[in-house]
């Protein structure tokens, strides 16, 4: 048995100015480009990715494994056409003679030459292998399309956000694929997609309507469905329907799968207001953080989710730091701030030098009015290659690359400035440049969710802060042109006809 296994992950923010060339598809910001062949196998084997689970499952079956490519990039703007073609062509070229396909996809990829990155790829794979079963693992934030449904036999998405079940999702999809090939099950897919643009901060699976929807999905699986996935979608993609979806894989009984998808989607629609996040003004958020810090013996976290690189942010906006300084907060540690020009200047100055440079607000995001870079004077405390090993729970053991990194200490604030946008996955973001984040009074992180498993345990409290960045929760900042209207919450009177 010959099995094709590949990975293509990108969450596309079509409003983001951050480019996505082929070189962006490296490991954790490594800017090395995709890995191919044996390298793709080795980069996933033993990791916590869906592709790793596919490899393990295929090996247990004694299959001949073909791994043409593993390509994963941080969220950013539309994928370059040449990059998209290179990744898809590698996968399609490897289909010859394969008996089955397992693809580790995100589900929200938009390329310069494709508004439906995953759907168009799956259509090509299906055309090349019309009789081979295709299993797909998706991110919880995938934007499901009809092409994806039509060209896959098994679809399973993550059930956690933050995503800590990537491997388990791949294992689930692989288990159903092989059970189907052995004749033990007969997968059928049903799909519902209410016209609801969810906010990422309302897709946490630990609370609220999203938790209730995922709980319903788990209950349906316990009641006989092969897989039930709730995908909150990624609304900062200006495509026809970047909306929440329910995908059900039933066992032979399509009507039963349809009924389950309908029931859970109706539950979601009835609770649609709970999937909308209403941001407080930035000044109020900073004032709340200051109050939390009065009697605290641990740092207070301020999460700048309006400029979050894991949704396509530039990591360049200075709104939150400027507001914190205006309110005379001190003991601040912040970063990573992406400013290659500032890093070059700090590198040239050297450790121990006192410098005045401008930082941030250099990339025009298109979200709100342009702001001027901020002049800051301080001492260069550290200069590094910006690499560290992630301790977990996400991407445990993988080496992270921030690009070259520098620390500027103004006395009031220590800024970690990097060449690449980078999610604060780990304490290593700070410890690798000589900062103990536990000793800060205020930690200003450009993050929405992934930092929480690591930084919440060392903090006294958390305040969500919405800067006017390209990942803001204020949809009014974005000119949606392609989204099918009416859609909630852009249109308060939107209605849903279950016949999607």
Task: For residue range 187-218, list pLDDT tens digits in order.
Answer: 999 999 999 999 999 999 999 999 999 999 99
The pTM for the full model equals 0.92
CA-to-CA distance for 49 and 477, rounded, in angstroms? Answer: 34
- The whole-number pLDDT of residue 368 equals 66
Q: Given pLDDT bands bounded at 50, 70 and 90, which one contains residue 47?
A: confident
Residue 500: what pLDDT? Answer: 46
Radius of gyration of the chain from its Cα atoms, rounded to whole angstroms: 23
Is residue 28 scored above 60 in pLDDT? Answer: no
pLDDT tens, residue by residue, 135-177:
999 999 999 999 999 999 999 999 999 888 999 999 999 999 9
Report the pLDDT value the prediction gives residue 33, as an integer from 0 to 100: 92
pLDDT for residue 97 is more than 70: yes
Under DSSP, the state recorded for 171 is: H
Q: What is the pLDDT of residue 152?
A: 98
Among 33, 124, 138, smallest CA distance to 83 is for 33
Comparing 450 with 141, the larger pLDDT belongs to: 141
Cβ-count burial of 164 within 10 angstroms (0-12 exposed, 13-18 middle, 19+ buried)? middle
Q: What average pLDDT does the chain have?
A: 95
Mind listing the pLDDT tens digit for each residue in 218-268? 999 999 999 999 999 999 999 999 999 999 999 999 999 999 999 999 999
What residues contact 413, with CB distance under 8 A and at least 6 apart?
321, 324, 325, 330, 332, 333, 334
Per-residue pLDDT at 366 exceeds 90: no
């Amino acid at each position: 048995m010959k099995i094709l296994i590949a990975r293509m992950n990108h969450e596309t923010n079509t409003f983001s100015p951050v480019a996505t060339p082929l070189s962006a598809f490296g490991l954790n910001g490594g800017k090395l480009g995709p890995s191919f062949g044996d390298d793709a196998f080795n980069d996933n084997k033993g990791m916590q990715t869906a592709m790793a689970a596919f490899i393990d499952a295929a090996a247990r079956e004694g299959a001949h494994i073909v791994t043409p490519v593993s390509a994963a990039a941080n969220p950013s703007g539309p994928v370059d056409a040449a990059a998209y073609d290179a990744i898809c062509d590698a996968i399609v070229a490897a289909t010859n003679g394969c008996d089955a396909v397992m693809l580790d996809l995100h589900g929200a990829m938009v390329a310069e030459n494709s508004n439906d990155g995953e759907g168009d790829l799956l259509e090509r794979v299906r055309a090349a292998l019309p009789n081979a079963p295709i299993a797909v693992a998706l991110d919880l934030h995938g934007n499901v399309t009809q092409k994806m449904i039509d060209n896959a036999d098994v679809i399973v998405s993550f059930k956690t956000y933050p995503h800590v079940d990537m491997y388990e999702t791949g294992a689930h999809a692989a288990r159903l694929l092989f059970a189907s090939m052995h004749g033990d099950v007969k997968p059928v897919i049903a799909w519902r997609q209410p016209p609801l643009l969810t906010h990422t901060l309302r897709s946490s699976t630990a609370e609220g309507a999203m938790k209730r929807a995922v709980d319903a999905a788990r209950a349906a699986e316990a009641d006989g469905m092969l897989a039930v996935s709730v995908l909150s979608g990624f609304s900062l993609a200006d495509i026809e329907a970047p909306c929440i979806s329910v995908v059900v894989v039933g066992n032979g009984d399509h009507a039963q799968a349809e009924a389950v998808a309908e029931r859970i989607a109706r539950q979601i629609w009835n609770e649609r207001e709970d999937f909308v996040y209403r941001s407080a003004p930035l000044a109020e958020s900073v004032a709340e953080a200051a109050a939390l810090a009065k009697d605290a013996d641990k740092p207070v976290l301020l999460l700048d989710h309006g400029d979050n690189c894991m949704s396509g942010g530039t990591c360049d906006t200075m709104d939150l730091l400027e507001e914190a300084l205006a309110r005379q907060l001190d003991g601040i540690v912040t970063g990573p701030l992406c400013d290659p020009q500032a890093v070059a200047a700090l590198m040239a100055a050297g450790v121990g030098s006192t410098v005045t440079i401008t930082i941030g607000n250099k990339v025009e995001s298109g979200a709100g009015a342009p702001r001027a870079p901020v002049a800051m004077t301080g001492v260069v405390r550290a200069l590094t290659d910006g690499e560290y090993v992630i301790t977990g729970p996400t991407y445990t053991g993988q080496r992270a690359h921030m690009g070259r990194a520098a620390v500027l200490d103004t006395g009031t604030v220590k800024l970690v400035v990097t060449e690449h946008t980078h999610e604060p996955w780990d304490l290593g973001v700070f410890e690798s440049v000589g900062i103990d984040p536990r000793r800060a009074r205020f930690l200003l992180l450009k993050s929405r969710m992934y930092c929480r498993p690591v930084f919440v345990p060392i903090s006294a409290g958390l305040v969500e802060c919405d800067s006017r960045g390209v990942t803001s929760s204020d949809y009014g900042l974005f000119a949606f042109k392609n989204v099918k209207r009416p859609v909630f919450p852009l249109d308060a009177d939107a209605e849903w006809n279950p016949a999607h």
